[in-house]
Structure 1
Amino acid sequence: MQNTPKTDATLVKNYINGDEYALETLVYKHKQKVYSFIYSKVYDRDVAEDIFQDTFIKVIRTLKAGSYNEEGKFLPWVMRIAHNLVIDFFRKNSRMPKFDNAGEFSIFSVLSDSSLNAEKSIIKEQVESDVRRLVDELPDDQKEVLLMRMYNDMSFKEISERTGVSINTALGRMRYALINLRKIIEKHNIVLTN
């Protein structure tokens, strides 16, 4: 009985109760899967290593704060944290200027702008096509306000003038559009980010 491998849930519980070794076991158990996932997105060992470390720093903080509630779903939870950190990495770096560090190692020399933009546009296109499909299910008046606001970046004052309704009505339609979008997402069991 002593040698049977412990489940993730048991290891998490043991770690929360002060067994530091339990976390080491969890990291060792899932390192390959989590690291491979991160590396497959960034194609850079140093960056992947950093994001991997950040992922487990976040895991430790959440566990120590007592706010972990993914009972029995430890690995999917860790993968979700890693996925979000990868997206944050691309968001941050695609906006940063390209530095020319004379002779020094620079992350930007490894990750060319085109690979950053490719990743960013793939994520953006996927989310946009998912969102467009959902928006199509909204009633016309709500869809109209949502599209004007989100895609044309119009103010509620402009929307009210264009549609001939009061600002409050435009705000109300936007509010209902968002409420309905949430319902549609739940109805279809859609996950917009993994």
Structure 2
Amino acid sequence: MNEETEQLLTELERIVTERQDWLFRFAYMRIGIREDAEDVVQEVLLGVFRRLREKTRVDNMEQYVIRAISNACTDYFRRKPLHVVLLDQAKEVAVSDHDKQIHEEFLRVNRLLDTLPREQSEIVRLKCYDDLTFKQIAELQDIPEATAKSRYRYAIMHVQQMMKKGEKR
């Protein structure tokens, strides 16, 4: 193993140690099922580890891992048959006390974000829940930074309008 590969593996180890909870939350907020989100993160990290051992070149390890998890979440829905659970039924899904808070947050956020176009809702998730900068979001989504900012702005405007409509009722 050469020195560059060893440095990349050390960087991956650091990311896993410092950001494992964040990576799980990132996947969970997209998938909504704890076990599946854990599996996605684990599979991605193992895949990244294998690719690094095969001397894959990576310029920004953290960005690489985040993008890989984002892509794996998208693939998760492509290969898994869509099982629709109505929000009222989702409240009845058994959730441990440990998961209750994050599950309730997931339901609340998804109710609002489901009213947005997918491109906008993903930007909001990346910005608000994953605490990424617009530059990082643009790189992750492979779009110009200005596009990321405008999608975010339109999404926030739409959510504000929805909240105002809810207040009037």
TM bucket normalised to smaller: 0.3 to 0.5
Per residue, is there more helix in 1 or in 2? 2
- TM-score by structure 1 length? 0.40
Select the structure with the greater relative contact order (CA < 8 A; seq sep ≥ 6): 2
